[in-house]
Amino acid sequence: MDYVTHNIAMNLNRIRKSKGMSLDTVAEQTGVSKSMLAQIEKGTANPSIGVLGKIVSGLRITFDDLLQTPVMDSYLVHIKNLVPTKEIPGQYRVMTCFPIEDNYQVEIYRIEIAPGGTYISGGHGERTREYISVLMGDLTIETKGKTETVTVEDAYRFESDSEHCYRNMGTVLLVFNCFFVTY
């Protein structure tokens, strides 16, 4: 489930319960079926803007109330359940674990690159620093005319304001996490 669907699911459930409302009551007030509301709360439905508009109007809340990142003490991301943000099958997959919308300071991605594969990333803007931790394989990274090899025993940091290239020159799948920090 993507993070927007997750936010809507968590927030709708929280708002409904804080108002002491059952799904039947919310269905009556919004004109959205009970089964659709249950699917939205489970994160299995992708509601249209029209459906979200009915919910917002019927519950007398704002769109932001549904879309904002829910406050949670902890949140477990199951990598296998993430939909890739970018992907070229057989080459690479990029998955957003924690988007910048969570806190507007840190963003975390998981990247997988097949043996011999390359992923080229554009710059991420001024005052953005990238931290890399390799989980499996060896990463060759090229940035600003410099090439580094990062292994599972290393961590790497660089200013990610310009285009950079990740390469898997090995024979096994390369898996690493990228942490983007805006300062």
Closest by Cα among 154, 105, 143 to 121: 143
Please check the confidence at residue 71 and state whether its pLDDT lies above 80.
no
- For 23-41, write each residue's pLDDT tens digit: 999 999 999 999 999 999 9
Q: What is the pLDDT of residue 175?
A: 98
Q: Judge whether 55 and 66 are in contact, CB under 8 Å.
A: yes
% the chain with pLDDT above 70: 97
Q: What is the pLDDT of residue 172?
A: 97
Helices (H), 44-146: 49-59, 63-67
What are the structural domains of the chain?
A: 3-67 (1.10.260.40), 79-182 (2.60.120.10)
% the chain with pLDDT above 90: 83
Q: What is the pLDDT of residue 2?
A: 79
Task: Summarize the confidence of residues 145-155 as an average pLDDT.
Answer: 97
- For residues 143 and 164, what is the distance between their CA atoms, to the nearest angstrom? 5
Q: What is the pLDDT of residue 75?
A: 79
Q: What is the pLDDT of residue 122?
A: 94
- For residues 137 and 133, what is the distance between their CA atoms, to the nearest angstrom? 11
Residues paired with 158 in a beta bridge: 130
Task: Tell me the pLDDT band of 102, cut-offs 50, 70 and 90.
Answer: low
